[in-house]
Amino acid sequence: MNNTFITYEKALALIEEHKGDFAIETRNLEDAIGAYLGEDLIADRDFPPFDRVTMDGIAIAYSSFASGQREFAIEGVAAAGSPQKTLNDVSKCMEVMTGAIMPFGVDTVIRYEDLELSGDTATIKLNSLGHKQNVHFKRSDLSKDKIIVPKGKKLSSAEINIAATIGKAKLQVRQMPKVVIFSTGDELVPVNQTPELHQIRRSNVYGIQATLKEWGVAAKLEHLADNKEEMIASISVLLKEYDLFIFTGGVSKGKFDYLPEVLEELKVKKHFHKVQQRPGKPFWFGSAANGKTIFALPGNPVSSFVCTYMYIQFWLKKSLGLEQQPLYAKLKKDVTFKPDLVYFLEASIESQPDGTLTANPINGNGSGDFANLVKTDGFLVLPQGKDNFKKGEVFEFIVYRNDFGL
């Protein structure tokens, strides 16, 4: 393999080496959904903060039941939100509501369904009880000052709930990079225009923009014609404004593929240009002196889509300090791939009754067959140095559909 091509693993290592460092901003709790935490969420009290009743019914001293007593006079009522009550006579009971503090003098709760109530008397209809049943004990979930949610976590409704519980009306979150996505090439026309026979609509950039939006990142769209001077002028201005640049097209060996040359003239340092992979070999990555990050993806739709998920997502996670949590799936059928490249194979995912995931490869017609993407759920990462991949073998699976929670 030509030494100008680096391996997939080396590409990831270089991208991690040049990960971003996102600033912290403050948001109101109600505006923080989908953001990434810039602080740990820490318990401000024990969880629960008191011994909490979990069933409507009565609370008794278990020792009275153990000695044979089944009929209890009701001494009082403990409601949720009221100060802690005290049972003064252990031969009696306290009526209790879900969420109330367990009264002093009692340790076991019996639900209404297991009682017979008559006036101010409750009769237990059961022959056996669990000691301390139906009580959620203080500190049984979490102790005060423990980390509940670590920084870097993407905020879902569950984390918003936790933040509210610990009194966080405002949250420190990561400020996402300011992103611009470029389409390049004279053959591309706006999406609302009818193309001539020799033209196509700009589509890659919309897919990448939508993907970034799913990850909580807003991006602006721009277009560059195949004119070197115009490219230099446009990019040089935007290098002062944006943090992350994503280009599609213009990075191969074509006569009008000016982008690598343009970036060099703009003093953008190239970290690599070509990767030993399919699809997406002509893939460029670099950074400007002012810290701006540049990804230049192949123009073919599937190639640019693959590189977005394989590399831009990787860079974003590393920049946020997120742990990489690979998903694995078993091949549903044999696959043969002869070139000495890592192969990102389109596949649909199926959940099996035994709890495993099976990836069913769906062959397309090359890196220009973007229509095949609607039939699949992600990409199997089939490693270099191997020609035959057997049914039942397990490989990493990169998901691009949210149905699977990534």
**Within this chain, do residues 210 and 313 fall inside the same structural domain, yes or no?**
yes
pLDDT interval class at 375 (50, 70, 90): confident
Q: What's the rounded Cα separation, in Å, for the pair 29 and 346? A: 39
pLDDT at 403 (0 to 100): 61
pLDDT at 188 (0 to 100): 67
**Within this chain, do residues 94 and 206 fall inside the same structural domain, yes or no?**
no
**Within this chain, do residues 254 and 279 fall inside the same structural domain, yes or no?**
yes
Q: State the CATH number of the domain containing residue 162.
A: 3.90.105.10
Q: Which token pair is 339?
A: 């070139």
**Within this chain, do residues 291 and 386 fall inside the same structural domain, yes or no?**
no
Question: Where do runs of H (alpha helix) occur along 251-373?
Answer: 259-265, 301-307, 313-320
The answer to whether position 306 is within a domain reads yes
**Within this chain, do residues 304 and 383 fall inside the same structural domain, yes or no?**
no
The answer to whether position 141 is within a domain reads no
Q: What's the rounded Cα separation, in Å, for the pair 357 and 355? A: 7
Q: State the CATH number of the domain containing residue 124.
A: 2.170.190.11
**Within this chain, do residues 316 and 251 fall inside the same structural domain, yes or no?**
yes
**Within this chain, do residues 280 and 349 fall inside the same structural domain, yes or no?**
no
> Domain boundary at 320, 341, 360, which?
320
Residue bearing the bigger pLDDT, 259 or 294 = 294
> Domain boundary at 275, 305, 320, which?
320
> Domain boundary at 298, 320, 342, which?
320
pLDDT interval class at 1 (50, 70, 90): very low
DSSP lists the bridge partners of residue 93 as 74
The answer to whether position 205 is within a domain reads yes
Q: Is the pLDDT of residue 404 over 50?
A: no
Question: Where do runs of H (alpha helix) occur along 256-310?
Answer: 259-265, 301-307
Q: Is the pLDDT of residue 289 over 60?
A: yes
**Within this chain, do residues 308 and 388 fall inside the same structural domain, yes or no?**
no
The answer to whether position 114 is within a domain reads yes
In three-state secondary structure terms, 179 is strand
| Mean pLDDT lowest among 151-165, 200-214, 323-337, 347-361 | 200-214
pLDDT digits (tens, 9 = 90+) for 25-38: 999 999 999 999 99
- Domains in the chain, number: 4
The answer to whether position 142 is within a domain reads no
Tally Cβ neighbours within 10 Å of residue 166.
14
Q: State the CATH number of the domain containing residue 300.
A: 3.40.980.10
Q: What's the rounded Cα separation, in Å, for the pair 395 and 268? A: 35
**Within this chain, do residues 257 and 299 fall inside the same structural domain, yes or no?**
yes
Q: What is the pTM of this model?
A: 0.82
**Within this chain, do residues 33 and 156 fall inside the same structural domain, yes or no?**
yes
**Within this chain, do residues 226 and 332 fall inside the same structural domain, yes or no?**
no
To 5 degrees, how large is the angle CA 230–CA 233–CA 237?
A: 140
Position 336: which residue type? T
The answer to whether position 125 is within a domain reads yes
Q: Is the pLDDT of residue 205 over 90?
A: no
- Assign residue 145 a region (left: φ > 0; alpha: ψ between -120 and 50; beta: otherwise): left
Q: What's the rounded Cα separation, in Å, for the pair 267 and 242? A: 16
Residue bearing the bigger pLDDT, 333 or 194 = 333
The answer to whether position 93 is within a domain reads yes
pLDDT at 92 (0 to 100): 98
Q: State the CATH number of the domain containing residue 346.
A: 2.40.340.10
Domain of residue 71, residue span: 52-136
**Within this chain, do residues 208 and 314 fall inside the same structural domain, yes or no?**
yes
Handedness of CA 391, 393, 394, 399 (dihedral sign): negative
The answer to whether position 248 is within a domain reads yes
